[in-house]
Structure 1
């Protein structure tokens, strides 16, 4: 007979117990829509933009991470609060309180922008996977990722899909490691982070506009509100036995913490990507980076195999996280606009229009390359469409969040309005500058 010590499992070490307590801690368990939304903002096309910023201007744009964090957090908190209070998504709330043409106009710009964004992300993921496995063509990888994502979105109910997306957020941690694999001048990093550096040139101003447009994207507004509404509906089934759950200060505090953590993570990853490419590529004289695979390839001989692999794995992980958010935000907006049954908790037969929108957006995205639309063109068109949509969306969100008839006691406070107003001014100026740079400069 075996000794009793071999028949029983060994007691977990103090370090393992501490790790288990962290993952089971209520604070971590309460992270959800905000964390996923923030992490999905660092998609492959966003990584390409931040890599361009670092390669072209070194550390000169690091300070933008400090600027965009409070603005992102304020806007996403408003959208989340609207979703909590109304228990509808943003499109459904807009449909109820605004003329139909407003929502139709937004969708006219949002649909192609999201499809182009999905296309750029799938192409980026395929190209990076091709770097890792050269025997398989880029397009084959893009089709494979599209199939896997469609299967996951259709097969898994909301809670399981949300849990998978939540764990995929951990992939972003690789970008916190990469800068420590190369030598850094941390004094210079601190100076460029805390002291804004602005060059009044076409290229630098265009990069600032690109960073703002990539970081504060309208599709995140739709997703955040819908996820909070979906969470409330799920909570009403589990906790309220089908009765509507009343919003209270505890729920609001949990939501605000979730949003703040998510937006902080998003901007932290943005900071480290600019830092990595700014130190490695810019210092080596590589100033033109157009795609994520170019950034990964350029890192390999300069920063080593480990940095290259981590950067590449991060691109694949963020794509798997971001594309369901992009497609889902569009499907929710379409379903609420046209009164379709929708929601990730429903099966395909219960919400055919909702899932068809996801299918069409993913397939259209993967086919863009066959139509002659390159990832660079897709990013340019996406930036223009987001640039036109963002100021209007921000103004509408601000108006809704201040509407007592909609929000009751949970309408905006002074700080939210101040940060929202600054965001509106900045994004409006960015949209005007973007159009000028694209068509007149």
Structure 2
């Protein structure tokens, strides 16, 4: 029993960072990583190693802003920037999130269609309605415990890379020394990969969740020691969450490279093609595992996408914002209204004549573009004593955060000029 208690202790420190990491491997991420592996083979594996310290740093920055200030990102931006700038940031987030929700829900519908036939759009509608109802009437933390089991289907990609007998020396060399021709297609894929890995909705979500955790202890005065202890927890939580996220992403990309790319499939246009990457380990059950992974990550990610939009708009409007609010008591109507509009707006886009796989990819590209100004705003907030008090971010976080922002900006600029 003593051993179990020792194991539970570090696990209890995992929270918003771990959920954020799990939500990062959403259907958009799965599709983008699979497309990268199919199109470029091992050539894009470097991106996941390169982005890991950058995404970890920027998520720690967002979490620290939420915890130290006791307010979400939009509330802090409201105080620090002119209103037109604030509305620009929130408008970017809403547009990116609605497109991402549409892509994720469409992918979930397409996955069920792959198994059972029928109308993928009607399945998407059902997922959208179910997601709204769960967010409004259920506690997110309670149902997310069950959804996590569905995401274990993603471990099938780990199984693929283990059973294929890969030359790991070659994998290491190609990861650290990629052979790429830098043209528009390459830049487009890099922006998509950066955008699905370092996404704006994750910033607002993790900051909002830290505020919710803090408000759970409302009325308590925290000592300097308690603050430092919690900041250490944020660091551990985020490192574990982002490490898990990128490890799974690496396996998804590697599995697609070792199966689809080597089989001559360089452009994934349907869910059925993406399923082929799982066949070496799952065989005839590949479609089922793919479907479970897409649905599990989608049901995890859509509330994060819609919730981050809800936090942002509610903070701008001065509404109460918490997933613990009870609608039946008349609480959080504006907050939950934004969640419903963002989710059902995404569902409406599913009825547009767009290919779900390409929609997922372009959602990642758009996230990469919109992340740049929001990351710059976050870095400015995190270095201001008026926001952070004595807990402004240190030199290491400052350097990594600005490097992440600069790299994203350079890639977007290079794509625009290509």
Give TM-score scaled by structure 2 length. Answer: 0.92
Residues 1:408 and 2:408 aligned together: no
| CA distance, structure 2, for counterparts of residue 255 and residue 168 of structure 1 | 25
Is it true that 1:354 corresponds to 2:335 in the alignment?
yes
Gaps in structure 1 of 5+ consecutive residues: 1-16
Deviates more, 1:106-115 or 1:250-259: 106-115
Distance 2:285 2:147 in 1: 25
Equivalent residue for 2:122? 140
TM-score normalised by length of structure 1: 0.87
Deviation at 1:386, TM superposition (A): 2.8
SS in 1 for 2:61: helix
- State how far apart, in whole Å, the 2-side matches of 1:31 and 1:341 are: 26
Flag the 1:166–1:31 CA change in 2: closer, same or farther, 3 A: farther
Structure 1 equivalent of residue 79 of structure 2:
96
Deviations 1:236-276 (A, max 9, x none): 15xxxx33545521111111100000111111111001100
State how many pairs are aligned.
414
Which residue is equivalent to 1:259? 238
- Secondary structure in 1 aligned to 2:234? helix
Report deviation, 1:144: 2.2
Q: What SS does the corresponding residue of 2:310 show, helix, strand or coil?
A: helix
1:318 to 297, 306, 326: 297
Alignment CA distance shift 1:29-1:280 (3 Å) = same
| Contact 2:104–2:360 (Cα < 8 Å) also in 1 | no
Q: 1: distance between equivalents of 2:242 and 2:166? A: 25
Q: Is the 8 A contact 1:44 1:319 kept in 2?
A: yes
- Partner Cα distance (1:280, 1:225) in 2: 38
Instruction: Provide the residue aligned with 2:67 in structure 1.
Output: 84
1:38 aligns with 2:21: yes
- Cα distance in 2 for partners of 1:181, 1:260 equals 28
Q: 2:160 aligns with which of 147, 168, 178?
A: 178
Partner of 2:134: 152
| Residue 205 of structure 1, CA deviation | 2.3
1:295 to 259, 274, 279: 274
| CA displacement 1:331-377 (0-9 Å, x = unmatched) | 11010011112210101220111111111111111121323344356
CA distance in 1, matches of 2:110, 2:39: 22
CA gap 1:28/1:293 in 2 versus in 1, 3 angstroms = farther
For the Cα contact (< 8 Å) 2:114–2:271, is it kept in 1?
Answer: no
> What SS does the aligned partner of 1:69 have?
helix
Larger radius of gyration: 1
The Cα RMSD (Å) is 2.4
1:223 aligns with 2:197: no
Alpha-carbon distance between aligned partners in 2 of 1:410 and 1:293, rounded to the nearest angstrom: 50
Question: 1:344 and 2:323 equivalent?
Answer: yes
- TM superposition shift of 1:29: 2.0
**Residue 372 (1) aligns with residue 353 (2):** yes
> CA separation of 1:198/1:41 partners in 2, compared to 1, >3 Å: closer, same or farther?
same
Alpha-carbon spacing, 1:346–1:130, altered in 2? closer, same or farther (3 Å): same
2:418 maps to 1:430: no
The alpha carbon displacement at 1:61 in A equals 0.9
Runs of 4+ with deviation above 6 angstroms: none
Contact 2:268–2:357 (CA under 8 A) maintained in structure 1: no
CA distance in 1, matches of 2:320, 2:350: 32
CA–CA separation in structure 2 for the residues paired with 1:371 and 1:276: 31
Say which of 44, 56, 59 aligns to 1:61: 44
Match of 2:265 among 277, 283, 286: 286
Gapped regions of structure 2 (runs ≥ 5): none
Quick one: distance in 1 between partners of 2:107 and 2:405?
A: 30
